[in-house]
């Protein structure tokens, strides 16, 4: 093994990703929390591979991010990706605060959107696709819980494509927080923010975009003016109303004293269980569609 002077590199970029970045070609980052924690055991790998495939089909290079063997890796080999899927809940959910701990302790860290954004900033990747970002949790006035996804979106110069904010959160409060942080929120051919599993019923977005090149132009203008990320909200192609299930699952989480980083995986797993696979199917589809849209925008951005 070759070790750089001063010790092994904390951040490692896969050769195909490095080459694409160096030649100004489109790169899309993907996260691993959804691979390890977002789906029933054994299903995460397919989700990850399908997202990578959709990124490639759209003409970009996927860089799936995770922490393993003491390094933050951007661009995972199939065998590495498999480790995140196989680990499931035993992989550490790695937000921005957890990256260094995972590196130094050699712990397998499945990066959240926030953790992935931090890695993107370090490596110069500008686009990320995911299912739904984290945000301000319901009941935040009694128990403050705000996802580090928001703080990192305020720092990273990255455009994130998601089906809005996960609807187990307080969606209007999250939109307000994004405004306070100066993060542009763009509705993809839509005037409202999607609610993750459903396209309709969310608050109005401040701006709508019609094409990938328009989204790329806004990102370019924003980055030349400011320093934050952007959220491109992509309504899911199919909708499922899970509000009643969310309320039940949140009540259960609170009575079982599930808190902090465990809340989101707990609620998602209840929804997946109680919809007999429908929510899993919709969640898989929207992740793949968001990866493809992120790639389209990345390609448009690289084209000029």
**In whole angstroms, how close is the CB of 220 to ligand PSU at the nearest point?**
25
Q: What is d(CA 62, CA 53) in angstroms, rounded to the nearest whole number?
A: 8
Interface stretch with ligand PSU, choices 22-30, 80-88, 129-137, 223-231 (CB under 6 A):
129-137
**What CA dihedral angle connects 196, 202, 208 and 214, to 10 degrees?**
-10
Q: What is d(CA 284, CA 50) in angstroms, rounded to the nearest whole number?
A: 9
Packing angle of the helix pair 44-57, 278-302 (nearest 10 deg): 30
38 binds, among ligand PSU, Mn ion, none (CB under 5 to 8 A by kind): ligand PSU
**In whole angstroms, how close is the CB of 291 to Mn ion at the nearest point?**
24
Q: Which residue is nearest to Mn ion (CB)?
A: 145
Tokens of 227: 């320093």
Q: What is d(CA 248, CA 49) in angstroms, rounded to the nearest whole number?
A: 32
Query: How many other C-beta atoms lie within 10 A of the C-beta of residue 167?
Result: 24
Q: What is d(CA 188, CA 163) in angstroms, rounded to the nearest whole number?
A: 10
CA angle 123, 12, 68 (to 5 degrees): 120
Q: What is d(CA 69, CA 5) in angstroms, rounded to the nearest whole number?
A: 18
Does position 149 interact with ligand PSU (CB under 6 A)? The reply is: yes
Question: Does residue 93 carry a catalytic annotation?
Answer: no
283 binds, among ligand PSU, Mn ion, none (CB under 5 to 8 A by kind): ligand PSU
Catalytic residue among 31, 52, 152, 296: 31
Contact criterion met (CB below 8 Å) for 182 and 150:
no
Q: Which of 55, 216 has the CB closer to ligand PSU?
A: 55
Q: Which of 75, 151 has the CB closer to ligand PSU?
A: 151
Q: Which of 264, 300 has the CB closer to ligand PSU?
A: 264
15 burial type by CB count under 10 A (0-12 exposed, 13-18 middle, 19+ buried)? exposed
**In whole angstroms, how close is the CB of 237 to ligand PSU at the nearest point?**
14
164 binds, among Mn ion, ligand PSU, none (CB under 5 to 8 A by kind): none
Does position 134 interact with ligand PSU (CB under 6 A)? The reply is: yes
Report the Cα 223 to chain-centroid distance in Å. 20
Catalytic residue among 52, 166, 284, 296: 166
| Site pattern 101..120 for ligand PSU (x: CB under 6 A) | -----------xxx------
Q: Which residue is nearest to ligand PSU (CB)?
A: 131
Residues 6+ apart with CB under 8 A from 254: none
Q: What is d(CA 191, CA 132) in angstroms, rounded to the nearest whole number?
A: 17
**In whole angstroms, how close is the CB of 138 to ligand PSU at the nearest point?**
11
Question: Does residue 176 carry a catalytic annotation?
Answer: no
Does position 264 interact with ligand PSU (CB under 6 A)? The reply is: yes
Does position 261 interact with ligand PSU (CB under 6 A)? The reply is: yes
Q: How many helices (H) and strands (E) does the chain have?
A: 12, 11
**In whole angstroms, how close is the CB of 137 to ligand PSU at the nearest point?**
7
As annotated, the active-site residues are: 31, 166
**Which spans of this chain sit near ligand PSU (rule: CB under 6 A)?**
31, 33-34, 37-38, 112-114, 130-132, 134, 147, 149, 261, 264, 268, 283, 287
């Amino acid at each position: 093994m070759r070790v750089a002077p001063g010790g092994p590199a904390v951040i490692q970029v896969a050769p195909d990703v490095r080459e694409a970045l160096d030649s100004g070609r489109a790169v899309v980052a993907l996260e691993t929390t959804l691979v390890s924690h977002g789906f029933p055991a054994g299903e995460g790998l397919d989700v990850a591979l399908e997202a990578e495939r959709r990124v490639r089909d759209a003409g970009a290079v996927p860089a799936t991010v995770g922490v393993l063997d003491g390094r933050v890796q951007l661009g995972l080999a199939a065998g590495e990706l498999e480790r995140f899927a196989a680990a499931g809940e035993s992989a550490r959910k790695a937000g921005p605060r957890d990256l260094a701990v995972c590196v130094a302790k050699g712990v397998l860290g499945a990066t959240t959107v926030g953790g992935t954004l931090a890695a993107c900033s370090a490596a110069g990747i500008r686009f990320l696709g995911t299912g739904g970002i984290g945000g301000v949790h319901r009941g935040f006035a009694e128990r403050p819980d705000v996802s580090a996804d928001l703080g990192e979106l305020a720092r990273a110069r990255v455009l994130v494509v998601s089906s809005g904010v996960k609807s187990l959160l307080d969606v209007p409060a999250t939109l307000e927080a994004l405004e306070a942080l100066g993060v542009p929120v763009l509705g993809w051919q839509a005037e409202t923010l999607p609610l993750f599993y459903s396209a309709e019923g969310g608050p109005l977005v401040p701006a709508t975009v019609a094409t990938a090149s328009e989204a790329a132009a806004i990102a370019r203008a924003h980055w030349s003016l400011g320093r934050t990320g952007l959220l491109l909200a992509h309504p899911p192609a199919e909708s499922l109303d899970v509000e009643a299930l969310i309320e039940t699952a949140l009540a259960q989480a609170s009575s079982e004293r599930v808190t902090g980083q465990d809340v989101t995986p707990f609620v998602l797993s209840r929804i997946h269980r109680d919809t007999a696979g429908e929510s899993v199917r919709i969640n898989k589809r929207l992740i793949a569609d968001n990866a493809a849209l992120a790639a389209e925008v990345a390609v448009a951005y690289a084209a000029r």
